[in-house]
Amino acid sequence: MTDHWAPVAFKTRIDDTLHGFLADEADHLLAIDADLKPVAERLQLAAGRGKRLRAAFCYWGWRAAGQPDSEALVRAAASMELVHAAAMVHDDLIDDSPLRHNLPTAHIALQAPLRGRPRGRAGARSLAMLVGDYLMALAGQLFVTSGLPGAYLARARPLWAALARELIAGECLEILRTGSRPDTDASLKVIRYKTAKYTVEQPLLLGGLLAGAGLSLRKGLSSYGLPLGEAFQLRDDLLGLFGDPERTGKASLDDLRTHRPTALLAETWQAADQAQREELRLVLGRRDLSGEHLHQVRTLMTELKAPQRIEQMIRVRVEEAARALDDLDVPPPARRALSNLANSATARLH
């Protein structure tokens, strides 16, 4: 790869790495027993899509520290996408989401091989949980077998442990706060630990640590990555409710049906009067939500200007990340790539 940032070419490199790695793992599973075919298929499908932003941030954390392009680093960066795939399988299972990328989620798809069996739905959920666990284990395997020297990998080991800890903490916080009184600060903390850190900041730092980045550069990468990761998830929450499901690939009613503690809901609640809050209470957490309920909540949120306040939160964080990037002493190709990635991560249409 040249110093010119070519997202499509990079995505192809990551896709090829993941495809080969997961195809080999699927073969190992099938060698145990042919009945494992549905699990092997879900393993491959779980990481089959995506813009590969997390891998890209890891790669450019490495390049920001002055290291050249490296196939071993590309393999290590690809492991970030397996972390994401594991998180999405678990997240969909926890929220009982039916769709992702306009396709059935793992726990829905895995009902097919168990159709007609006792407790088939529960069995499918158990299989999906195991697929998610397996993907997380494989992420670690791909990382340590990437081909990078052991001394490089040792530098990143403590951060890898922190990534897993904080991702799980964020998911647990979301579960513990689901259905509770909406609170913006509490929602932002969930965003930080559940998504922002493992999407931008930690992949950047992993790449930097692998490359031997000093403390000053690592602090600068965090100052850029953390607000950008929060902006990414704020945009995702906004699109989740106001985006076109054909483009987002997810059901628009999921956040309302699960009464998820999003900042968008918290900002709506804070601005609402007693009657409007009662209107929200009658919708949040219902299993039988319809398009009419979605229109009702969208209208209320728009009247209360909650989406505009989320857009302002996004702008503030993107500007903070841009200032941090301006202060970073990194090679020009890394600066250009990180600037482009900031736009890709937050000005998304789907």
Per-residue model confidence as pLDDT tens for the chain (350 residues): 456 789 999 999 999 999 999 999 999 999 999 999 999 999 999 888 888 999 999 999 999 999 999 999 999 999 999 999 999 999 999 988 888 888 899 999 999 999 999 999 999 999 999 999 999 999 999 999 999 999 999 999 999 999 999 999 999 999 999 988 899 999 999 999 999 999 999 999 999 999 999 999 999 999 999 999 999 999 999 998 998 877 776 767 878 888 888 999 999 999 999 999 999 999 988 888 888 999 999 999 999 999 999 999 999 999 999 999 999 999 999 999 999 999 988 875 44
Q: How far apart are the first and last CA of the chain?
A: 27
Question: Which regions of the chain does DSSP assign to beta strands (E)?
Answer: 99-100, 103-104
168, two tokens? 């799980």
Q: How far apart are CA 252 and CA 229, in angstroms?
A: 22
What residues form DSSP beta bridges with 104? 99
Q: Which of 67, 101, 108, 65 has its CA nearest to residue 85?
A: 101
**204-to-23, 77, 307, 349 alpha-carbon distances in Å:** 27, 10, 29, 24
Domain with residue 163: its CATH number is 1.10.600.10
> Is there a contact between 311 and 238 (Cβ–Cβ < 8 Å)?
yes
List Cβ neighbours of 312 (8 Å cut-off, separation of 6 or more). Answer: none
Residue 338 belongs to some domain of the structure: yes
Residue 2 belongs to some domain of the structure: no
Residue 249 belongs to some domain of the structure: yes
What are the phi and psi torsion angles at 70 (to 5°)? -150, 130
Residue with tokens 């000053």: 216
Residue 181 belongs to some domain of the structure: yes
> Is there a contact between 47 and 85 (Cβ–Cβ < 8 Å)?
yes
Domain of residue 257 covers 7-346
What residues form DSSP beta bridges with 100? 103
Helix, strand, coil shares, percent, the chain, to 5 = 75, 0, 25
Q: Say if pTM beats, i.e. exceeds, 0.85.
A: yes
Residue 164 belongs to some domain of the structure: yes
Residue 187 belongs to some domain of the structure: yes
Query: Total structural domains in the chain?
Result: 1
Residue 1 belongs to some domain of the structure: no
Count, residues in the chain: 350
